[in-house]
Amino acid sequence: MQAGKTVARGIIDGNVPAEDLPWELTDKALARLTTSADTLEGVMAFIQKREPVWKGE
């Protein structure tokens, strides 16, 4: 959700040309999401059948 908002804000604010957005920014946002501490915590919590402890990282 946060990654999508970041991409959208870039378009709205005019900081990022619209033609560059669809793949380049999405790829960068996805890379950040899949390597975050919260992503690992979510996966581990699911495997361990417990509630995740989010840290916003």
Q: What is the DSSP string of 27-54?
A: HHHHHHHHTSHHHHHHHHHHHTTS----
Residue 48: per-residue pLDDT: 97
pLDDT at 52: 96
d(CA 13, CA 10): 5
pLDDT in the model for residue 47: 96
Q: Which three-class secondary structure string do you get for 1-19?
A: CHHHHHHHHHHHHCCCCHH
Residue by residue, pLDDT tens for the chain (57 residues) are 566 676 666 655 656 666 666 777 778 877 877 888 988 999 999 999 999 999 987
pLDDT of residue 20: 63
pLDDT of residue 46: 96
Determine contact, residues 33/3, Cβ cutoff 8 Å: yes
